[in-house]
Chain A
Amino acid sequence: MRNVYLDYSATTPVKEEVLKEMIPYFTEKFGNPSSLYDKGLEARDAVTHAREQVAALINADPSEIFFTAGGTEADNWAVFGATDKLKEKGNHIITTKIEHHAMLHSCAFLEKHGFDVTYLDIDKDGRVDLQQLKDSITDKTILISVMMVNNEIGTVQPIKEIGKIAKEHKILFHTDAVQALGNVPIDVKDMGIDLMSMSSHKIYGPKGEGALFIRKGVRISNYLHGGAQEAGRRAGTENLTGIVGFGKAAELARVHFDEHVKHSSTLRDYLVERILNEIPDTTLNGTMEERHPGNANITFKYIEGESILLLLNQFGISVSTGSACSSKSLEPSHVLVALGVPVEMIHGTVRFTVGDFTTKEDIDYVVDCLKQVVTRLRELSPINEKKGW
């Protein structure tokens, strides 16, 4: 059976070149980067090199890159580190309703501990309203955190404009760029970003590795306490192989950026066009402009997402869904709720994300299978256009 992976926003395979770079650091070059003999220095050099590779991808200085155990730790560090450092100045955070749970649940925790959080709405295109952002700022606001690219609907936020507003009000600005990295151009200087979360496994690097960009001069409290690694700001022996892999993946993402974006968006556009034209009662969530190049988020009316996912899985196809039934919490996607998609339609929503290893033949196969799956489930469904919801 054919195997088609269309869930690149969930995770990506590690590229061969990346793995090749990592392997010696498991066995021969296994030294602790903190050790002072040659074996340690060799490892430290590798970490330094990886730091340069990651910095180059986002136009940062290598000294502004701090490796973490992934995007979630970076988000947690940014929000807890910033609020702890600035708690004397204020207790107000502004973020959005469509952040990743790493941010939303961290904010919910802070709300229990005396902080106030404003969650900005998004419009029908999936973007925050800059006026609402400005209106939400008070003299107690100490942090603005807005994700660069949404993981479900792929919409890109006006980060540069938000950075400008934050700067005008002298408020720290954090962005979760986990989905954006390697997929949209990022220039931390030009965009006025103070703190930025990144993850390795979304850009064909290994899992369990990420980084927080902290602009030079920005002070936030430490989150992990212990040894003096990462310039004394993030304790714990470095995940050497993970860092080497992340560095290589970042370099590949930088060198092949245009190619990657063109390949992804061409196939994504083809997928969206075929689905919307050939399968009735389907809608695209979010706009095609200013969108993650690989993301397509589509509602299949009158049927439910987990059923679609399971039947596609029978054809060897991997996708994800915003349906409540597929989540352990039984809650429908908070992003699609914020976008204003009716709940009954959220249950029938599927996210497809294409990537570097996707081919046109894959897309043709997926559309063919989708037609069968959708027809079959609609025959099973008591709801249809005539009967209504």
Chain B
Amino acid sequence: MALYNDTVMENFLHPKNVGELENPDGTGVYGSPVCGDMMQIQIKVDNDIITDAKFKTFGCGSAIASSSMATSMIIGKTVEEALELTNKQIINELGGLPPVKIHCSVLADKAIKNAIYDYAMKNGKKYAALEGYDPEADEDEDEHGEAEE
């Protein structure tokens, strides 16, 4: 009956990891207010392990829930493991999103990659998964679900 399932609602109503870090090792931003959603994710990296992550999001319920879930999923992971995170995994952990909201999970995935990219650039780190990575690339287009008419 509800627009979102219980897990999505829980992450929307009580989002985890909200805020900004004092001295982040990497900051990633993706989306824009014009598109209706924008996400900022910051990470703290210690010994190649992501020890903390925080987000700030302008967007709908599923964008906020995706940010909360995605940041929770990368904390405690190595940078390489975090780079393997896909938007499908975020959706699975959320127990599914309505088709038109799939792009919200993409946004979270991209914001995380951008945060890691920022960390890698600042620290001269190289990761196979970031080879040829373009933080500005708009992958969102293909990821929209089939809109219901």
Contact = CB atoms under 8 A, between A and B. Distances in A.
Interface of A: 302-307, 310-311, 314, 323-326, 328-330, 332, 342-344, 347, 379-383, 389
Contacts of B18: 379-380
27 contacts: A302-B58, A303-B58, A304-B58, A304-B60, A307-B59, A307-B60, A307-B61, A310-B12, A310-B60, A325-B37, A328-B100, A329-B147, A330-B36, A330-B100, A330-B147, A332-B36, A347-B36, A380-B18, A380-B56, A380-B64, A381-B57, A381-B58, A382-B39, A382-B57, A382-B58, A383-B58, A389-B34
Nearest to A379: B18
Contact of A382 (B12, B15, B38, B101): B38
B57 A347 contact: no
Given A304-B36, A310-B3, A382-B40, A330 B144 contact: yes
A93 B114 CA distance: 50
A302 B39 CA distance: 12
Given A310-B12, A330-B147, A383 B3 contact: no
A67 B15 CA distance: 50
A307 B64 contact: yes
- B37, B58, B144: residue with the most chain A Cβ atoms closer than 10 Å: B58
B57 A380 contact: yes
Interface of B: 3, 12-13, 15, 18, 29, 32-34, 36-40, 56-61, 63-64, 100-101, 144, 147-149
- A307, A326, A383, A389: residue with the most chain B Cβ atoms closer than 10 Å: A307
B56 A323 contact: no
A324 B36 contact: yes
Contacts of B38: 382-383
A323 B60 contact: yes
Nearest to A321: B60
Nearest to B101: A325
Contacts of A329: 147
B11 to A, nearest CB: 12
Nearest to B9: A310
Nearest to B99: A328
Contacts of A328: 100, 147-149
Contacts of B34: 342-344, 389
A314 B13 contact: yes
A375 to B, nearest CB: 13
A1 to B, nearest CB: 15
Nearest to A346: B36
- A306, A328, A342: residue with the most chain B Cβ atoms closer than 10 Å: A306
Contacts of B39: 382
A109 to B, nearest CB: 14
A344 B33 CA distance: 5
- A314, A324, A325, A347: residue with the most chain B Cβ atoms closer than 10 Å: A325
A323 to B, nearest CB: 6
A325 B15 contact: no
A307 B38 CA distance: 13
- A324, A326, A330, A332: residue with the most chain B Cβ atoms closer than 10 Å: A330
A307 B36 CA distance: 11
B35 to A, nearest CB: 8
A302 B12 CA distance: 17
Given A344-B32, A379-B18, 20 more contacts: A303-B58, A304-B36, A304-B58, A304-B63, A305-B60, A307-B61, A310-B61, A311-B13, A323-B60, A324-B36, A325-B36, A328-B100, A329-B147, A330-B144, A344-B33, A344-B34, A380-B15, A382-B39, A383-B33, A389-B34
A314 B148 CA distance: 26
A303 B3 CA distance: 19
A276 to B, nearest CB: 21
A325 B59 contact: yes
Contacts of A347: 33, 36
A88 B37 CA distance: 49
Q: Which 9 A-B residue pairings sit nearest by Cβ, starting from the closest?
A: A344-B33, A325-B60, A382-B56, A306-B60, A382-B40, A347-B36, A381-B58, A310-B61, A324-B36
Contact of B59 (A304, A311, A343, A389): A304
Nearest to B68: A380
A333 to B, nearest CB: 12
Contact of B61 (A306, A342, A383): A306
Nearest to A310: B61
Contacts of B101: 325
A380 B54 CA distance: 11
A303 B40 CA distance: 14
